[in-house]
Every structure is written in C-alpha cells, then in structure tokens.
Structure 1
Amino acid sequence: MVLFPRASVSRCTMAAAPLALPLLLVLAAITTGCGAATVAYNDRAVVIDGQRRIILSGSIHYPRSTPEMWPDLIRKAKEGGLNTIETYVFWNGHEPRRRQYNFEGNYDIVRFFKEIQHAGMYAILRIGPYICGEWNYGGLPAWLRNIPGMQFRLHNDPFEREMETFTTLIVDKMKDAKMFAGQGGPIILAQIENEYGNIMGELNNNQSASQYIHWCADMANKQKIGVPWIMCQQNHHVPHNVINTCNGFYCHDWFPNRTGIPKIWTENWTGWFKAWDKPDFHRSAEDIAFAVARFFQKRGSVQNYYMYHGGTNFGRTSGGPYITTSYDYDAPLDEYGNIRQPKYGHLKDLHNLLRSMEKILVHGEHNDTAYAKNVTVTKYTYGGSSVCFISNQLNDTDVNVTLGATHLVPAWSVSILPDCKTVAYNTAKIKTQTSVMVKKANTVEEEPGALRWSWMPENLRPFMTDDRGSFRKTQLLDQIAAATDQSDYLWYRTSLEHKGEGAYKLYVNTTGHEIYAFVNGKLVGQNHSANGAFVFQLETPVKLQSGKNYISLLSGTVGLKNYGPLFELMPAGIAGGPVKLVGTNGTDIDLTNSSWSYKSGLAGEQRQIHLDKAGHKWRGHNSSGIPVNRPFTWYKTSFAAPAGDEAVVVDLLGLNKGAAWVNGHSLGRYWPAYTAAEMGGCHVCDYRGEFKAEGGGVRCLTGCGEPSQRFYHVPRAFLRAGEPNTLVLFEEAGGDPTRAAFRTVAVGAVCAAAAEVGDDVTLSCGGHGRVVAGVDVASFGVTRGSCGGYEGGCESKAALKAFTAACVGRESCTVKHTGAFAGAGCESGALTVQVTCS
C-alpha cells in the first residue's frame, strides 16, 4: 500500500484517516465533516469513499461557451445520465502574455468548477498544459518560443520551468477554492501532459522524451492534490505514479499497461472537428452506444465523451489551423447547447441502465463465451445476481443468440440483459425521438435588407512604406516568433531603388495560410493555401516605377499548428522566403535579404474598432450607400435582440472572410466563401462498422459543396434586451454585408421511428415555448425520406387520432404504442410518427 501526502483541507474538523484499505492504492485518506472524499483506485474502478464507482463523464470546455451557459449545459449533462464533467485547461488563454493572467469571463475556471460542484457532479481536471484540442498551438503560449533554450515537450529547464509554474498556478487556484475531492470539492482525477505517447517515437530523442514524461509525473505528484493523476495515450514509458488511459473512437480492446489500475477511456470521440474545407462529420447514436457498451462489457469503468458539448471557437486563439469557428463536434449537446436527438436520448437510456448495474459491473466475476466469430456473451456475477452483454461485431449480419430465450442481435450492436434473461437495451435500436433543428427568421429584422449598415476602410496607408515598423531585420522571419501570436496578421515591408519603369513578376514563397501583396500602395495579388498544405507561392505581375519602390506583404494565419512531433518548429509566414522580382528581360532582383520592417496586426485592431468606441468615423447609414466586395473594410450595423431565449445566430452568407463581434464580444473568424469539399461520405450513411473521420471509409457526412460555415453563434449573454445591439465585421477579402441576417435556432420537426408495441413514445418540442402544431405522419412501413420529410405509408388512423389528441398544443406528450394502432397488411410492425413544432 502506498499512502500519498494529504491534500490541502477545508476548515472542517479532520477525522482520523484509515490505516489500510485492502486491494486499493490509497491516494487520499482524508475525511471531514463537510463532504470531503477519499479517492483511490484498483484494477476495476475508481474508488470514492470506499465505493467502487462507474464514472460517466462528458467534456465541456469552459472557453467554448459562456458563464451564463454553464449551469444549463451541466444540468443537461446530468439529466443525460452523466455524473462527471471533464475539461482541458487552456494555458494560452489564461496567460496570453508571460505573467499576465486572465481568469475572467469564459476563462473563469474556478467559477466553472463551482458550477459543477453546485450540480452535485464529479469533475476531471485535464491540466496538460499541452492539450491539442484543435486549439492554437495546442494551448501552449506562442511567447514560449522566444525564451532562450526553449524546446517544447522535451527534457529541458526552460520548458519544464514554465510548465511547472503554470501547473502550480492552476493547482493552487483549485486548492484555494477547495475544488479537490479531499477538500470537499468535485475533482476526482487530474491529467498531466496529453497524448505524448503518440509522438514520442518521432521526436528523435528517446532519452530526452522519456526523461521528460517521468519528470511530468514527478512534478504533478509533488503538487499533492490528493487525487490520482492520469496520462492519456501513454502506453510506453509510463511513469509508475500515474494511470495511463485510452483515447479514440473505440477503446474496448485496450487495457492499461500494468495490473492494479482501472480501465479509463478519456476521450470517446462523439463526432469530429470541422475544417473550413471539410463537410460536417456525423457519428451515429447507434455506433457511439455500441462503443460504450463494448467498453463496459470488457471491464471498463471510467468513460468520457469528447465532446459532450463542443461549443464555439470564440476569439482568434481558440481554433487550430483551418478549424472552423463552430466546434459543434456532433456532440449530444449541439454548439448552442440544444439537445441533439436521438444521440442525447439514446445515450441517456444507456447511461441509466449502466448505473443501475454499477455494483455488479465493478465487483462481479466476469466470464466471456464466444458463440461465433465476433459474437461474444459476457456474464458478470456478484451477490447472487447476474448481468449479461451480447455483442455482435459483424457489420453485415444479424445473429440469433440463445441465452435462456433466443435473442436477435442486429449487426454491429450490443444487447444488454440486466437479468441475463430479458433484453433491456440494444445499441442499434433507438427508442428516443429525433429532432430536426431549424433556423427561424428574426421577427424584428425578418429580411437581410432590414439592417442598416455603415462602413470604414481599414487604414492601410501606414503599412504601404517600410517606415515606422516595430523592428527591422535583414532576413525574413517566422511569423509566430516575430508576432508571438498577438494577431493573425504580420506585415513584412521593404523598399528598393529602380532606374526607370520596369515590368516584373513578384514571387513570394510562404508557409503562412494566406498572403496579400502591395506594391507602391496598390494591392497586386493575393492567395491562400489549401488546408494542410501550408507551403505555397504567390506569383503576380507588378510594375516598378522609377526611383523608390515599396513592397508590403501581409501574411495571415488561420489558427496555428496544434498537433504532431515538434509542431512548434513548423514555420508560419514568409519565413526565409525567398522573395524575388523576375523581370521580363531576364533581370532578377532578390529581396530575401533586404532590410525588412516588421509590424504585427492591423490599424483597426490597434484602434479597437470592434469595440465601437466614440470617435470612430463611420461612413454611410443605408445599404445603398456602402461599398461591397471591397477588401480590408469594416462594417457596422445595429439590431434588436430576438425575442425569447432560443439560441441566436447571425447568417453571414454573402461575406467572404474576416472576423465578427457583437457588442465588443468576439464571435470568431468567419469564412462562408470557403466551400466544403465533395466527398463520397456525403452520399452514404450506415452505422454498421468502424467509424472513421480520416482516410478511407469516411461516411455520414453532410454539407458537401456548401459553405463550410454560414451561421455564427451569438450567445444570449452577448446581447442587450430592449436596446440596440451592435454587429461589427472586419471583411478582409471583400464581401457583401447587406445579405447578413439574424436567426434563432429551434426544434422544427420531431419524429419517433421504429416504436414497437408496448413502447412509450415520447415527443418533445424542446421548451422555449414551442408546442406541437400538428401531427404530419403516423404510419407503419415508412421507407422513404427522413425526419422532417417523411413520406407516410400504411397510415394508421388510430395512431393519428391518439397522437393528435395527446400532443397538439402541448410542449411534450407521451403515447403508448398499442397493438390497436397497426393496420392490416402493413409491411412493418414498427410505428413512425412525425410532428411539427411551432
């Protein structure tokens, strides 16, 4: 037995700690009179106050929502059957400049954990502080690059010193707020580093990598937080004093690298992130449920959904390279916090069943029986009771399995029998409703033309010469090192003398994401890279005048690299060039080693135009008087907040690329002009078989050939009711703001499919004052269409009458499916109902 030092404790009186806990590695032995808990573990489970627990967790990232949203998100997670909330910690958001800290607004991490505590849930604190997370630099501040001797995530004093300083800062904040379990708080697990095992072998320094990961574990344990430390995706070189865990779409066949520690799944990916050039990825409710059921069938005990609510990449540091502003992730709670059905409800049913079997699953003797290839029955027995799982991993064949009675197990599904006799749940059979969300017009500004716009040009004049820069160098620098990620933009400017006029082609090699070239104050060319191919060349014709000529190059990034070995060494901007002018007469002028003047950011950023301060000189006040398709232009309009409490979005179709703010709050980058690629997965969706988000076999995609993102979340907390609100856009590439409009997000159609006799069919319009306006379909044997567009077949007048009477005019209703609903000669015994909410 290993006894760890006690964590900081609350003001409550401390009771005597137990001397021994058989079979447990004790990590905290503190009991107090005000809710403090011991947290330990064994090979079957995390043990809280001596009780082995199943942990059902969901990721909610506090910076990707607002403090006003947190209580509702956490409540919905709890009502969805979860008992734990997990989050990363975002270093570059908390320390954007060295030793300048931000713990306010949606970075108020203590407030977030207090909301979890208030809801009566556990918490998992994933400090990292490298987090990946499709977040700029994986959460590491760009200013680290400028510290002498710095090597990211290797054994070196500069990085380890900064990492320990930040980790200690976060731990101390949690201790001061009494957030660890031993203090009566919700935190039962903490994570150090993140997915390091995935890249160790590619760092070309195995000794340094191994020393670093062991240093991480020792540093973390010195913090004496009183709960276990975990490391995900660390299957080799695992320190002895941490628990290694699994990330992925499936973790049922994974087991920790040594005995005595539980099987923990830190990231069950509920969907996938979206890039500007990609369509929307969807992982079916059936497949996620299959993965979860298999995990607990194979002795899993801690499972966390990544994401349970994905949210929004507000601001410019919250998205990795080419990641959209939406971080919806196809999660059970959508980007705006609405319940996504059927995923939410189907998993809720599974969670409730698993928790009802908790004691048997974490204590029971387990036995596997292979009934056929890829068909397995697992039986857990404890205290005279048994539960059984029947898994069919065949992706094209249903099977019959006799266990007491004969049970049909569909392909790629798991049946759970809490008494080993009767199937209570099958992962492929969805009993909960499907909801179709719609974007409703704002009743105040119903048409885009109702908004009155004013505009202001971005002041480019100061950047059209090489004067007044921040510094000069006779080389082309990396953008991240030069600007420390304080802006998406960096100006590279130089000048040259030329005898007479001359025609040339300007060639610029860049590792940035986009570039604009100006010669003598005129825009002469622009280009952007394809996602993932961040090395490209701008080639554009230019004319030089006699005398002095100025070359101004504006390099832009769309998020920074966040994953991979030595990702911080991947350059951005015009690092090293070359930049050259090639004359039509064969004369070449190499500008690479000229004297370059550097300046980070735009004039409008420095003037904080997005805050709409007094003194800004806006032009025009109506749609006919503003320029459109004009690059480097600021636009502003006023609007009334939509009535009610439904989620609000702004439709920016017609804009090109830029950034948006409401009442000074960043909505993030927008780029509706970028069209999602056509991919084969847009034309087929079958939940059966392993889900993939990259490479071959990608399926269940939507949005191919459409704008990658046209709707941008405007949290209600950003709005002022009863008074004008201000939308400010910076249009970088040239677009038309007069087409912008505000919408609210609400449930449109609601459907229940495949209800069987005896099922209670529950339909809900999701609150917000919306009620069932009518029953569209109540039939058997529906074979065409999808929810919101079903074409009925074999209509049931009895079912239509029953659902109309029970549902119309109500926010929710429940009707029991009886045998009296079925019509003679119908091809299916399964009932499909579709209603419209309004």
Structure 2
Amino acid sequence: MASRHTLCLLVLAAAGVAGASTVAYDDRALVIDGQRRIILSGAIHYPRSTPEMWPDLINKAKRGGLNTIETYVFWNGHEPRRRQYNFKGNYDIVRFFREIHTAGMYAILRIGPYVCAEWNYGGLPAWLRDIPGMQFRLHNEPFEREMETFTTLIVNKMKEASMFAGQGGPIILAQIENEYGDIMAQLNNNRSASQYIHWCADMANKQKVGVPWIMCQQNHDLPHNVINTCNGFYCHDWYPNRTGIPKMWTENWIGWFKKWGLPDFHRTTEDSAFAVAMFFQKRGSVMNYYMYHGGTNFSRTTGGPYLTTSYDYDAPLDEYGNIRQPKYGHLKNLHNVLLSMETTLVHGEYNESSYGENITVTKYTYGDSSVCFVSNQLHDRDVNVTLGGTHLVPAWSVSILPDCKTVAFNTAKIKTPASVMVMRPSTAEEPEALNWSWMPEKLRPFMTDDCGSFRKNQLLEQITTSGDQSDYLWYMTSLEHKGEGTYTLYVNTTGHELCAFVNGELVGQKHSTNSDYAFQLESLAKLHSGKNYISLLSGTVGLTNYGALFELVPAGIVGGPVKLVGPNGTAIDLTKNSWSYATGLDGEHRQIHLDKPGNNWRGHNEGIVPVYRPFTWYKTSFDAPAGEEAVVVDLLGLNKGAAWVNGNSLGRYWPSYAAAEMDGCHVCDYRREFNAAGDESDLQCLTGCGEPSQRFYHVPRSFLRRDGEPNTLILFEEAGGDPTRAAFRTVAVATTACASPGAEVCGEHGVIAGVDVVRGSCGAYYEGGCETKAALQTFTAACVGRE
C-alpha cells in the first residue's frame, strides 16, 4: 500500500543520538519512525498560563486523548525591545517544551513569527516600525532580516535544548508565517507577496531543523518545500493543493474569543465532535484544537484590540485549567475511538458512498479489518441507515463503527457528565474584610505643555510615537485667549479612548465601540484670559492583529483635527499647534504596581477611601485562599483599569462594559454550522448578554504568597469605580447532569424527564443537595419537558 504514495522522508537524527526519531510524510499521514500516525493535538499558549500550570495542563491534555501539544512563538514577548530578550517566567519556552517532552507527547512549534492569535500586532514587535524602509510581511530586506534573526534565535534555542525529534525531542512539525494566503491578494503587490512567501519557505528550510515545515492557509502560491494546512471551524471538505502531502487541520476553532462589549461565544460539544469526526471521515490525519486551553491575557501586550483579559475560548480546559465537561470527556471518547482505528485509517483503502442527500457512508478497508463512518449533514431530521444492521443517525451527527457493524460513538449522543464552575466566596476576603488605601495618579505635570519629551507642530500617530511601551500617550498644547470664553472642544481620534483636560480640569471622556475605533470627542471647555492649556490623553486597548497592512492601522489623535468652536461658530484650530508629547502615566514610570517603599498611600488608617474617582491607585492586602482551587478576584463595581497581585499583572479590567443584548443569547441548537464571526442574525449559543463582559480575573496560585504571608492587590482605576466591592473567590467544579454508558437521561422522543444533583463520577450522588436551591429550581424549570 505504501508503494502507491509519494513518501517525502526527512532524516532527523545524527548517528548515535539516543531516542532520536525520524519524521516523514506521505499523502496519508505523518510517518514517525517508519509508522504512519494520527496526530491529535491541542494548543496551549505558554504566555497565557504560568510555568507552574504547564505540567497539569499538558497532562490533562494527554488524559483527554491527545498525543501532541502545539503553541505559537510570541516575538514581541521575547524581544520587547530590539536585541533585548526575555525567556524568563511564562516566556521560558524551552521549559515549556521540556514539560511536553516529560509528559511523553509530541509538539508542534509554530514560529510564525507573525501569529495573529488575538495578540498585539499579531506578535510582531512595534519597534520594527522604527527601522528605516520597513514593510511588514513583504519582500522587504529590513523585515526579512529581522524575521530571520528571530527565527534563527528560536530554532537555535530548541536545538541547544535537543527539542527537535531528530535530537530525541518532542517537536515533529514547525511552522513558518501564518495565514498569509488569506491576505496576499489585499496587499496590492502580488510580486512582492509571492517573493516573500517563497523566501520564508527557503529561509525556514535553511534552518535544517529536520522536521517538515508547514504553512497554514497557504492555499495559493504554495512553495514546493512546505506543507499547506487548513484553519477554521470545519476542514473536512478542504484538501491540500499538492499531491503527496497529508491533510492537516492546524486550527480547529473549538470556541471563540471574546471582546469587551460582547457576550460569551459557545461552540456546542456535539458540533465540536461532529467537525472532528467529519475531518477523519474524509481522510484527515493531523488535527489541532485551537484552543485546548485558552488561558489569560495577563499583560497589555497579550490581547488584541478590545480583547477581554480572559482568553477562555470555550476550550476543553477552561481559563483556570479546570476540565470543562461534557466537551472534554466527549472529545476524549472520540479520540480514543479514532486512535483505536489508527492503522486502518492511515493505511486502508477509502470508499465513499452516498445514501441520499447529505447522508454519506465512508469505509476504510485494510487487510481483514474495516471501519466505517456514517454522517448525516441534515440540519432538521434524523435518518436510519442500514449498515450491518439499522442505525439511527441524528441530524448533524456522525456515527463511527469500528467494525462497520456496531456504533461505538455518535457525535450527538453525549454520555459524559456536564460541569459548571461555581465561584465560592472566601470568608476572610469578603469585601468588608479588605482594608483599602489609595493614591491619586499625578496628573499635574501633564496639565501644561512643559513636561513632554519632545514637540511637534502636528498630531502624531500613537503607536510609533510611544513605541507601544504604554497604553497611554499625552498630547499637550497651549493657546493664548483674550477674556473668558465658552467653547465646544472637538477631537477626532482613532481611539480607542480619550480623556480631555482643559486647564487641569477633566472635561470629557469617551471610548470607541469594539467594531469602530474612530470617534469624535465633544465636550464643553471654558477658557480664561491669558494662557490656557489643553491636555489630551489617548489610550489603546490592544493593537490590531489581523489583516493586510494591519501595522498601518493608526491609533491616537493622528492628524486630528482638534478644534475649539465658539457659540457664534468661530473656530480655533489647534491641529497644527506646537504639541508636546509624553508616553505613559506617572504611576507607570514610578512602577507603583510593584509597591516599592516610599509611595504615599493614604486612607488605610483613616478608613476613608474615595470611590468613583478617576485616575486613582488603590491597594489592599489579603490572605491566600486555602486549598488548591483556582483563585479569582471579583472586580464588579470597578470601572476600567489594570490590576496586579504581588507585582504580577492580571491584565486590564473593564467590568463596567456590559455585553450587548443579542438574539443569539436566547437560542442554542447544535444542528447547524457554528459561526462566531458573521452577522448578529447568524450567531447563537451566546451567554452573558447584558452582563459585564468580564467580572472575574484569574489570580494564578503561583502569584500568591503562602504560610500566612500577606498578599497585595493593586488597582489602577482610570475611569472611576468602587474598589470596596472587590472580593476574592475560588473556582470549584460541580457536576450538573450524568448519563452512564447504555443509559439515556431523556424520556421518550428526546424529552428531558428530570434533573438530578450529582458530584464526581456518574452515580456518585451528593447528599448535601445543590449549592443553591434557586439554581436547581431554575435549571429544572428550564429543562424538564423540553428536548
């Protein structure tokens, strides 16, 4: 059978290297040490978790039936300033891959180094824009030089640590560039784009890593020496555009990310399993979940535009690393079935038969063994299919028959307990138990135009001016005015937010929506006789990470105009004034979040803490909650700002930004194609409409001090909120529904007959009852008697 396929072998191992492996590929699968293998992978981003979390996350992925871990590499995290590198803490990429190796799993190294990933600039450092002649992701010598320098750095670190398969390490695939085929046509320079993508492939292969290089979404103009792959919610109908390479799905979007102002997106367990089963039914062999654990955007550079701090992604492992059921268990059962059929799937003769519109039976035959898939892609009705007996195949589902007679798995029939995350209060950290002190942000230096680092007679773009070293950039100017006057201040900005001060007084605040980053601030401004000062504080909430020429998308008050309009229509145009610039806040420069000695905190002894006061720092001490459950801080009552525990960033917070009301919050039916990026009318399975976009913020246990030593929470409240309502919680996992193999939780015709309270494994009933009777009553009323 193998003689019929093109076999592209890459010899990985130097002679005598113990444990070294060879990786090859043909048109059916990756070939590892001479054996075709099914690869079941899950994405875990090392900077979106902590080193202390990595072993548990990786081992849970392995117990969930995966054999591979995948991650991007984040250039701007590793090289925040040119030639100044960071490989410590949660950027210790070598340690992360060692943990994968220790767990006995394979690894996929997606260098990019453009990664998208809902990450500032898609991972590209903002300092690249300071290099003369720079053009991102085109055949451009400055960009290619920097890209090759960083790629070589990462490859050498992996080689030095013996992480590639030929050295006995876990890495079996490497990726260069990312989703470039999606934007090539929009770059308006086809020749340069084509030269660039072929340069990328040649540069990668010069690294001699000994494993295949892949390019995802490179469906056109594919270089000869790389493998193209698919990204999306479904990839069963996608095939490589060149013979001799296997069908790979590098990003199976298992859920979706969330932005401020949007509800939570949920991809049903049934549809998640359906997509995987369809992929392997149609000759797939390498599949990676994006994400298997989403994690947390701990710092300002780890989240794209308007992205929430949580990057949960509705993944099988939730933001805190807890197992999300039934998705985790149902997919685990599917993985086990697929791996049990591995030899037949990757060697067997493939035969597909139609049993009617959207009903397909696929049979793989290898020697005396055969396996079958029966798929029903109808949205609205179940079907009976005769195959070694009669089998009911529910709408939008796939049945898998390892012997072509007996159904071992159906994607729509879940037999795994469902779980919910319960936020438990910690008695010692209830709001009334936290003693707060406070400190005003020093705004006075910025209330004139004397303290800037430089001047220009124009309004500059924020990212290039600040070097993305802060979310904030000050624009400061002055003007002479005869007598007193009342004006309307108009400021055009590309956002994402703006605060306007006139003569030291805050006169206006506004932020853009998460779909349109340009807006106009309009506020009343009173001028006095003599010199008047106008200070504008522009803020970003993450940087653009996707699209053609995304690095040219402006931020800040670039070009304005900025003008004062009087009641009689007279206008004072300040656009070409002499503007003074300063990056960041005073508190950022003084590193207040590190709680260094000498800061003048107020109010702890007096017991008086001002609330709803913008531009204020708050501090409190707390004890680490007992146990090992995940810890969160509930910031309901705060407005917008940033949080730190013991100097460790928890990311931006914005609980005052409520999620929009959308029709998709009121309906969820797995029997249709999932969509998270279309029109509102296409969306469903949403939760959290009308509620805070995010209320709970992850505090990893490794951030906390133990043995009774106090911990410090510091908040920077930008817009004015109430810190006294903040509280700490632990996240407990509770089971809500259960079905044992061979049993059904439903009554006749798929109607829910009742609700039981259980905990732990199936049948382990919790005698204490539900955490809240109201929740049980609500759940029962909503479910019993319904399909």
Q: TM-score, normalised on structure 1? A: 0.89
Per-residue Cα deviation, 1:571-608 (whole angstroms, up to 9, x for no partner): 00000101111122332111111111110000000000
The residue number in structure 2 matching 1:561 is 544
The residue number in structure 2 matching 1:774 is 767
Aligned 8 A contact 1:452 1:622 in 2 = no
The residue number in structure 2 matching 1:742 is 728
Does 1:727 find its partner at 2:713? yes
Aligned 8 A contact 2:352 2:360 in 1 = yes
- Counterpart code for 1:730: F
The residue number in structure 1 matching 2:167 is 183
Does 1:67 find its partner at 2:51? yes
- Counterpart code for 1:201: A
Report the CA distance between 1:694 and its aligned residue.
2.0
Report the CA distance between 1:25 and its aligned residue.
0.5
Report the CA distance between 1:406 and its aligned residue.
0.2
- Structure 1 residues 539 and 36, CA, compared in 2 at 3 Å: closer, same or farther? same
Length, aligned pairs only: 767
Aligned 8 A contact 2:120 2:305 in 1 = yes
Aligned 8 A contact 1:785 1:791 in 2 = no
Does the residue aligned with 1:291 lie in a helix, a strand or coil?
helix
The residue number in structure 1 matching 2:646 is 663
The residue number in structure 1 matching 2:245 is 261
- Structure 1 residues 623 and 648, CA, compared in 2 at 3 Å: closer, same or farther? farther
Select the residue among 699, 704, 726 that pairs with 1:714.
Answer: 699
Aligned 8 A contact 1:453 1:622 in 2 = no
Does 1:79 find its partner at 2:69? no
Does 1:582 find its partner at 2:572? no
- Structure 1 residues 623 and 94, CA, compared in 2 at 3 Å: closer, same or farther? farther
Report the CA distance between 1:545 and its aligned residue.
1.1
- Counterpart code for 1:41: Y
The residue number in structure 1 matching 2:753 is none
Report the CA distance between 1:758 and its aligned residue.
9.8
- Counterpart code for 2:413: K
- Structure 1 residues 196 and 758, CA, compared in 2 at 3 Å: closer, same or farther? closer
Select the residue among 148, 170, 176 that pairs with 1:164.
Answer: 148
Per-residue Cα deviation, 1:773-812 (whole angstroms, up to 9, x for no partner): 32869xxxxxx99898336999xxxxxxxxxxxxxxxxxx
Does the residue aligned with 1:372 lie in a helix, a strand or coil?
coil
The residue number in structure 2 matching 1:505 is 488
Does 1:638 find its partner at 2:621? yes
Does the residue aligned with 2:109 lie in a helix, a strand or coil?
strand
- Structure 1 residues 143 and 785, CA, compared in 2 at 3 Å: closer, same or farther? same
2:783 and 2:444 map into 1 onto residues whose CA distance is 67
Per-residue Cα deviation, 1:31-59 (whole angstroms, up to 9, x for no partner): 64511100110000001000000000000
Mean Cα deviation higher: 180-189 or 617-626:
617-626
1:646 and 1:520 map into 2 onto residues whose CA distance is 50
Report the CA distance between 1:496 and its aligned residue.
1.0
- Counterpart code for 2:767: G
> What pairs up with 1:411-810 in 2 under 5 angstroms?
411-445=395-429, 447-621=430-604, 624-696=607-679, 697-721=682-706, 722-753=708-739, 756-757=742-743, 765=759, 773-774=766-767, 789-790=779-780
2:526 and 2:58 map into 1 onto residues whose CA distance is 60
1:718 and 1:766 map into 2 onto residues whose CA distance is 29
2:596 and 2:760 map into 1 onto residues whose CA distance is 39
The residue number in structure 2 matching 1:38 is 22
Aligned 8 A contact 2:757 2:769 in 1 = no
2:778 and 2:339 map into 1 onto residues whose CA distance is 34
Q: Unpaired segments of 5 or more residues in structure 1?
A: 1-19, 778-783, 795-826, 831-838
Does the residue aligned with 2:65 lie in a helix, a strand or coil?
coil
Does the residue aligned with 2:780 lie in a helix, a strand or coil?
coil
1:357 and 1:705 map into 2 onto residues whose CA distance is 46
Per-residue Cα deviation, 1:691-747 (whole angstroms, up to 9, x for no partner): 000224210000000000000000000000121000000000000000000000002
2:427 and 2:629 map into 1 onto residues whose CA distance is 13
- Structure 1 residues 758 and 198, CA, compared in 2 at 3 Å: closer, same or farther? closer
Aligned 8 A contact 2:12 2:211 in 1 = no
- Structure 1 residues 572 and 766, CA, compared in 2 at 3 Å: closer, same or farther? farther
Per-residue Cα deviation, 1:204-261 (whole angstroms, up to 9, x for no partner): 1111111111111011001000000000011001000000000000000000001100
The residue number in structure 1 matching 2:78 is 94
- Counterpart code for 1:575: V
Report the CA distance between 1:541 and its aligned residue.
1.1
CA RMSD of aligned residues (A): 2.2
1:444 and 1:86 map into 2 onto residues whose CA distance is 40
The residue number in structure 2 matching 1:204 is 188
Does 1:350 find its partner at 2:334? yes
2:627 and 2:759 map into 1 onto residues whose CA distance is 15
Select the residue among 97, 109, 114 that pairs with 2:93.
Answer: 109
The residue number in structure 1 matching 2:127 is 143
- Counterpart code for 2:379: N
Report the CA distance between 1:749 and its aligned residue.
3.8
Q: TM-score, normalised on structure 2? A: 0.95
Report the CA distance between 1:766 and its aligned residue.
6.2
Aligned 8 A contact 2:417 2:735 in 1 = no
Identity of aligned pairs, percent? 77
- Structure 1 residues 766 and 141, CA, compared in 2 at 3 Å: closer, same or farther? farther
Report the CA distance between 1:753 and its aligned residue.
4.3
1:97 and 1:249 map into 2 onto residues whose CA distance is 36
Does the residue aligned with 1:454 lie in a helix, a strand or coil?
strand
The residue number in structure 1 matching 2:359 is 375
Report the CA distance between 1:469 and its aligned residue.
1.1
- Counterpart code for 1:454: S
> What pairs up with 1:198-347 in 2 under 5 angstroms?
198-347=182-331
The residue number in structure 2 matching 1:807 is none
Aligned 8 A contact 2:735 2:758 in 1 = no
Report the CA distance between 1:756 and its aligned residue.
3.5
- Structure 1 residues 414 and 85, CA, compared in 2 at 3 Å: closer, same or farther? same
Does the residue aligned with 2:465 lie in a helix, a strand or coil?
helix
Aligned 8 A contact 1:749 1:788 in 2 = no
Aligned 8 A contact 1:449 1:623 in 2 = no
- Structure 1 residues 694 and 553, CA, compared in 2 at 3 Å: closer, same or farther? same
The residue number in structure 1 matching 2:751 is none
Does 1:127 find its partner at 2:111? yes
1:764 and 1:776 map into 2 onto residues whose CA distance is 8
1:773 and 1:740 map into 2 onto residues whose CA distance is 31
Q: Return structure 1 stretches of 4+ with deviation > 6 angstroms.
A: 784-788
- Counterpart code for 1:388: C
